[in-house]
Amino acid sequence: MAVRLLFTGAFAYLLSGVMKDLVGRGRPLDYIPDLVYKDTVVRGSGFPSGHMALATALFLTLSLYLPAKYKWVAPVGILLVGLSRVQLGVHGPMDVVGGFAIGWAAVALFKFVDIRTRKNPK
């Protein structure tokens, strides 16, 4: 589980950074001058939300290992992270959707990769 979390989280983080450089869309404060900004100073592009990408990747990966009665934790956690990024004024709704897509893609990619330790043949 830890290795899968590492791979999905790292991939989501790196891909969101690459997408921020490629797209270069500003944050809501750049487009809405009267916006009440509730977070510390952030830098860089707004699209996609790196927090959302990482949270989605980690929550969905964890949900693969949770018992059925706790599977609800993943969508609730993802939703709360997305809403908090918009409420703080650091991302628009489409930034959050883009981050979700990247996190979901990271999980989909590594869900089917066989990650096992190999024993050394003697």
| Residues with active-site annotation | 51, 91
Residue among 104, 101, 80, 109 at smallest CA distance from 23: 101
Q: What is the dihedral of CA 44, 94, 91, 107, to 10 degrees?
A: -80
Residue among 53, 69, 68, 67 at smallest CA distance from 107: 53
